[in-house]
């Protein structure tokens, strides 16, 4: 068995095992991974290093863990542990879907992780569900809301810089390094008043075709109105640019996104996941 460190040059080779949605992240800042190979991939782990702004990472979040052979777990975790030890990581955490993850659950327990079954932060919704939202009864969008394809690169960089300075990164820990093209230009949108961007509602289209929310933030004086206006713009653009079978992943990653999704989708239930952590040093 061989342990292969993933990088931009070799990640595509393992796309069938990792999925394209996972491999596209290998080129991003602080994303790393290993594949254990014996004629074919027997297991893989992909993780992201996290830390406070301007400081060295202190946490590692396992973003993907899959086993084809249970025997692959030990060597994979050995490689992972050695790698994060060099980075002086203090805590590792993980979230993996429950479906088809019995072997992975056992391997994580054996590797010293706490493991609990819980409701995940992800809610997958359809276009029909979004069109049925109460806010779409009046689909009027304020004149201050625009599709992302109308934003210049300079405006984008200034808005992102402001968000990062204020600690608003959404799901993109590397937000300041992501290009404008990472976000869907048709359904992502922004709010602008007096030439200043005061709201961003950004989505990324995964290779699998699902749209995932990346950042939802209002920086102006009336945040609720800004957020609702951008939500309307998003749903209208979604209907216009995607088919009826499109799926959208909403992530309740912070208090404001949780409050909004609970208000708009009170019956929305997150994907069942296993979640846990372990102390490293």
b or e along 221-247 (b: 16 or more beta carbons within 10 Å of the residue's beta carbon)?
eeeeebbbbbbbbbbbbbbeebeeebe
Tens of pLDDT, residue by residue over 83-106, are: 999 999 999 999 999 999 999 999
The pLDDT tens digits of the residues spanning 28-41 come to: 999 999 999 999 99
Range 11-21 average pLDDT: 97
Query: Tens of pLDDT along 160-177?
Result: 999 999 999 988 999 999
Residue 94 has a CB neighbour count (10 Å cut-off) of: 24
- Tell me whether domains 2-120+273-279 and 123-251 share a fold: yes
- Averaged pLDDT for residues 37-66: 93
Mean pLDDT of 114-142: 89
pTM, to two decimals: 0.90
pLDDT (tens digit, 9 = 90+) per residue, 211-253?
999 999 999 888 889 999 999 999 999 999 998 999 998 886 5
Q: Is the pLDDT of residue 257 over 70?
A: no
Question: Does residue 229 contact residue 141 with C-beta atoms inside 8 Å?
Answer: yes
Domain boundaries of the chain, sorted by first residue: 2-120+273-279, 123-251
CATH architecture of 2-120+273-279: 3-Layer(aba) Sandwich (3.40)
Q: Residue 195: is it exposed, middle or buried by C-beta count within 10 angstroms (0-12/13-18/19+)?
A: exposed
Residue-level pLDDT at 122: 81
Pick the CATH number of 123-251 from 3.60.20.30, 3.40.640.10, 3.40.630.30, 3.40.50.300: 3.40.630.30
């Amino acid at each position: 068995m061989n342990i292969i460190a993933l990088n931009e040059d070799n990640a595509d080779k393992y796309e069938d095992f990792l999925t394209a949605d996972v491999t596209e992240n290998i080129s991003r800042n602080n994303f790393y991974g290993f594949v254990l190979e014996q004629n074919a991939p027997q297991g893989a782990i992909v993780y992201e290093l996290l830390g406070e702004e301007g400081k060295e990472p202190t946490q590692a979040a396992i973003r993907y863990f899959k086993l084809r052979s249970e025997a692959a777990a030990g060597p994979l975790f050995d490689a992972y542990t050695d790698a994060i030890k060099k980075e002086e990581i203090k805590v590792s955490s993980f979230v993996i879907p429950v479906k088809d993850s019995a072997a992975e659950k056992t391997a994580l327990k054996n590797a010293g992780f706490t493991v609990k079954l819980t409701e995940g932060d992800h809610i997958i919704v359809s276009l029909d569900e979004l069109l049925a939202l109460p806010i779409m009864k009046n689909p009027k969008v304020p004149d201050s809301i625009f599709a992302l394809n109308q934003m210049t690169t300079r405006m984008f960089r200034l808005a992102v810089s402001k968000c990062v300075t204020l600690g608003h990164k959404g799901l993109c820990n590397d937000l300041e390094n992501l290009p404008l093209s990472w976000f869907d230009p048709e359904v992502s949108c922004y709010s602008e008043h007096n030439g200043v961007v005061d709201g961003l509602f950004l989505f990324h289209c995964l290779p699998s075709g699902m749209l995932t929310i990346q950042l939802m933030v209002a920086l102006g004086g009336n945040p609720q109105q800004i957020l609702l206006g951008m939500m309307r713009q998003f749903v209208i653009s979604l209907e216009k640019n995607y088919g009826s079978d499109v799926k959208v992943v909403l992530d309740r990653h912070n208090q404001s996104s949780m409050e909004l999704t609970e208000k708009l989708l009170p019956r929305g239930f997150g994907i069942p996941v296993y979640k846990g952590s372990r102390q490293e040093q």
